[in-house]
Structure 1
């Protein structure tokens, strides 16, 4: 079975709890990968995988907080929902300070867990889409030649061909040529779309479009 964006990883050394949590999640159509051992989970999970993880806090060997720390070292963006029958304040504080998505005490209300999982999956998918969009934008801009980049920024700022020609000390026809090439490479037909790409890439402040 291949992993999907809706994969929920459940790590719990309590066999009964692991099985019942898996059943609950699968009953609402989610794909579940259960693990009774934290190290086994870390060995099999892809840091780039989307979804979310439900981790028991206290387990033999690697506990939930240790797993969270290791995932962060690997650059994983998986939202983590901790479950524990021993939710003392220092542990809860440590978990949230380290970026936990939620902390639920055992025995937990089933709907509470399902709501938390759905929210975590939604947030993770949105973050993944934003990251993919950023990478796509960076790829588009990186494909521009040096001269195209010279035209790209003032074009994004809303300068006319005449103004850009004066800035770069070249003819208007030359600017019109590069302007068309820039828009073709970026796959857009309107100047506002060029502006949007520059803003998305962090190259332009939308409040200071005409400032150089």
Structure 2
């Protein structure tokens, strides 16, 4: 993944601000999409889009703080950078407590905004990598049968083959076969690597 696959989504009801920010970000050779309202952005967004949101606070219909909460409810993984001319300390505290990446005031210096966008992109990339790893791990474990899952869990709990055999009422040889199939299906060589896959599903 590179920055060209990431997009800066600007949301501001001031057309002049949208034009200025769009030009600023395009000059940095980053992808950018501009929206005059929160509703326009929500209508445009679909799962899978990566990048960050540069968001005004005071907007008609849905303001910036309400949109931030909406994005949280929808599990939208885009870090939010607030950029407003109407900010105050209570607003900034509320925004940051809700997970905002940064809270900036207008007018903003280009270097400051670019630094915040780079940081937000990195945050989004890390989230994407984590999600991809988790999905891969879940896909691997989904190939296991119920019995293989039982054997795997007991093995990862530190139980020896004989203990597993007694607990499940199967032979020692059958346990060995199940463990071998678990390792084969998940593409690992040992229980330590298998434990990492299981841990990835909960990451």
Shorter-chain TM-score category?
Answer: 0.7 to 0.9
Q: Report the Cα offset of residue 85 of structure 1.
A: 1.3
What CA deviation, in whole Å up to 9, does each residue of 1:172-199 have, x standing for no partner?
Answer: 3222211111111112122211122233
Which structure has the highest helix share of the two? 2
- Preserved contact between residue 12 and residue 36 of structure 1 (Cα < 8 Å): yes
Q: For residue 183 of structure 1, give the secondary structure of its aligned residue in structure 2.
A: helix
Asked whether 1:134 is paired with 2:134, we answer yes
Instruction: State the distance in 2 between where 1:69 and 1:199 align.
Output: 29
Q: Which runs of 5+ in 1 are unaligned?
A: 203-212
Instruction: State the distance in 2 between where 1:26 and 1:73 align.
Output: 30
What is residue 91 of structure 2 aligned with on the other side? Answer: 91
**TM-score, normalised by the number of residues in structure 2:** 0.88
Q: How many residues align?
A: 200
Please give the residue correspondences for 1:57-206 in structure 2 after superposition, counting only pairs within 5 Å.
57-202=57-202
Q: For residue 104 of structure 2, give the secondary structure of its aligned residue in structure 1.
A: strand
Structure 1 residues 47 and 95: CA distance shift in structure 2, 3 A? farther
- Preserved contact between residue 55 and residue 82 of structure 1 (Cα < 8 Å): yes
What CA deviation, in whole Å up to 9, does each residue of 1:37-73 have, x standing for no partner?
Answer: 2221111112442211001111233321222222223
Asked whether 1:55 is paired with 2:34, we answer no
Measured on the aligned residues, the alpha-carbon RMSD in Å equals: 2.1
Q: For residue 9 of structure 1, give the secondary structure of its aligned residue in structure 2.
A: strand
**TM-score, normalised by the number of residues in structure 1:** 0.84
Q: Which runs of 5+ in 2 are unaligned?
A: none
Name the stretch that deviates more: 159-168 or 23-32. Answer: 159-168
Q: Report the Cα offset of residue 75 of structure 1.
A: 2.0
Instruction: State the distance in 1 between where 2:32 and 2:18 align.
Output: 11
- Preserved contact between residue 6 and residue 121 of structure 2 (Cα < 8 Å): yes
Instruction: State the distance in 2 between where 1:198 and 1:130 align.
Output: 13
Instruction: State the distance in 1 between where 2:154 and 2:59 align.
Output: 58
